[in-house]
A and B are shown apart, each in its own frame.
Chain A
Amino acid sequence: MVKITGIEFRNPTILASGIMGTTGASLVRMANSGAGAVVTKSIGPEPKTGHPNPSMVKLDCGFLNAMGLPNPSYADFDNEIKIAKEGADVPVIASIFGGNAEEFVRVAEGLTEAKPDAFELNVSCPHAEGYGATIGTDSCMVEAITAAVCDAVDAPVWVKLTPNVTDIRSIGKAAENGGADAVVAINTLRGMAIDINSGYPILGNRFGGLSGPAVRPVAIKCVYDLYETLEIPVIGVGGVSSWEDAVEMIMAGASAVQIGSAVHEGIEVFGNIATGIEQFLQDNGYAGVEDITGLAHEVI
C-alpha cells in the first residue's frame, strides 16, 4: 500500500496519461491488469480530433508520438470517468489541459461531478500548439494555472512537467508555489524521425515526443533533481518497463511510477512490475516503497 497526496494506492504502478485512457472501459481493463491507479487521456475544453496519422511510430530506441490531444471534451468525458470509477477498484485521476488558467478551471469544474480522485495538469505535451509545453516552459503560467485549479477543486492536484526546459527544478518549484500536491515527471522529449525514401517527416505533425527506454536516464535525472528541490512528492514516469526500472526511478526520488509505452509489450506489465517491486522490498528487508524513495540521495 502506498499513500500519495492523501490517496491510497494498492501498489505504486500507475497507468500514465495518453495510454489506454480514452474510454472508461479501457481504464477498468488497465486497473484489472494490475495498475495501482489510472490516469485518463488528457481532456480539454472542446472536442479535438488530434493530428493526422502516422501519430505513433516504434523506433529502435523507443516510441515517437504526436497524437495532438484528441479528446471528446469534458462535457462528453465525465461519463467515462463515472464508468471507470464504478468498474475499477483503484483511484482514477483526470488528466486535463487548456490554453490558459480559465480553460483549465472550466475543464476541472466540468469533471468534478464525476469525482476523479485527483487532477493531473498537462502542461507538458510537446506537440500541441498553444497547449501543453507551450505553457509548461513558462514558470509564471505554471504557477498561475496550478493556483487557479487548486482554488477551484477540492481533489489533489498533480502537475505533469516537461523535460524540454533548461532547468526542470524551476518549473517544479512554480507548481509547488502554486499549491500543487505533487509533480509528475517527465512527459515526452521533443523528437523527430524522417523517412529517407521520401524526405517526409514520418509523424503527421512532423515532430512529436519520444518515450520508451531511450528517455529513462533523462527521467531519472529529472526525478532526482526535483526530489532534491521540492517538498511535495514526485511521481516518476519515463521509460519504465521492468521492476528494476521502477526501483531505479523510486531510488531517484519517486513516490510512485507511471507506466506508458511499456503497455506495448503487454498489459500485464503493471501486475508484473508491482510484484517485482514487492519482492525486491521483501528480499532486502525494506518495509515499503517510502524506505527506498530517494535512496540515491542518501548514499553519497
Chain B
Amino acid sequence: MRPINAKIIQIIEETPSIRTFRFDTSLNDAQPGQFVMVWLRGVDEVPMGCSFKNGITVQKVGDATSRLFELKEGDSVGLRGPFGKGFTLPAKDENILIIAGGVGVAPLGPLADSAASVGAKVTTILGARTASELVFEQRFSEAGDIHLTTDDGSAGTCGFVTTVLADMDVSAYDRICVCGPEIMMFNVLKMLQKKGAHDRAEFSLHRYFKCAIGVCGACCMDHEGLRVCKDGPVLNGSLLLDSEFGNYKRSSSSQRVKV
C-alpha cells in the first residue's frame, strides 16, 4: 500500500519525552500489538505500535521522532499499515497480566481496552523511571487492577516491574503480555521461565526495520530467522528463550550490536 495521508488532530504531552499523536484517519482493522510505519516526509519512516486505532504514542529518540515532535496539530504524516502480528486477543473470563515499561505502554493500552471490553480480568504492572514518566495510568486502572513501580520510588513500589512480578503467583493468568525496554523484557522472560509461565507470555519486540513487510530480512532474529516485522512484532516467550533476545540485535548495516 502507498502511505495514506494522516492529519494530526490532537497532540497530548504524556510525559516530558513522550507524546501521543491522534490522527483524522483510523486504522479500524488494527489489532492490539500491530504497528504502523510512520513516514516523516523527507526524513525517514519508522515503525510505531498503534496506541489507539487513530493514534501513536512516541518517545523522542532519533531523527524521525525529533521531526515528529516538531509537528503541530493540522500537520500531516504518511501512514502504512497496520502490519505484523499482534497479541492474542483476550476472551471473556480470561485472566490477563499486562507488564508495561516506559513507552512500552503503546501497544498494551489497546490490549487493556480490548480485554476489559470483552469481559476479561486485567491486572497491570506499570513501570517507569520516575512518577512523571508513567504513561496511561488511568487507562490501565479503568481496565482492572494496577501496580505501579518506579526506579526512584516516586510512585508505587521502588524498583522495577520484576520487583512486583517476583512476589506474584502467575499461575492464575491465562496470558502475560509484555512491552518495554529489551533488558526489562528479558528479565521478565527469565523470571517467567523460572515460574514455568514463559510459554503463556507474549513480548512485543523492537528491531531495525527496512521493508516492514516481511521481505528484506533486515529484522530477522537469530537463531530461527524470525522476522520481527511479519512473524512478530509480538512473539511468544518460548520462541525467545534460545534466541538473540536480550543479548544482541542488528544495526542498520546488519552488524551485531549489544542490546
Contact = CB atoms under 8 A, between A and B. Distances in A.
A56 B224 contact: no
Interface in B23-46: 37, 39, 41-46
A49 B222 CA distance: 20
B2 interface: yes
A47 interface: yes
A18 interface: yes
A70 B213 CA distance: 17
A164 interface: no
A6 B249 CA distance: 37
Contacts of A189: none
Main secondary structure of the interface of B (DSSP, over half): loop
Interface in A11-42: 18-23, 25-30, 41
A45 to B, nearest CB: 13
A261 interface: yes
B76 interface: yes
B213 A56 contact: yes
Contacts, number: 130
Interface stretch (B117-125, B167-175, B196-204, B250-258): B250-258
B210 to A, nearest CB: 5
B166 interface: no
B225 interface: yes
Contact of B45 (A73, A76, A204, A261): A204
B217 A200 contact: no
B219 to A, nearest CB: 9
Interface residues of B, number: 39
Most chain B beta-carbon neighbours within 10 Å: one of A52, A63, A261: A52
A30 B217 CA distance: 11
A193 interface: yes
Given A20-B216, A70-B254, A28 B225 contact: yes
Contacts of B250: 22-23
Contacts of A25: 220-225
Contacts of A71: 253-254
B212 interface: yes
8 contacts: A41-B217, A55-B216, A56-B215, A57-B3, A70-B254, A73-B253, A195-B2, A260-B215
Interface of B: 1-3, 5, 37, 39, 41-46, 76, 78, 80, 209-218, 220-225, 227, 250-256
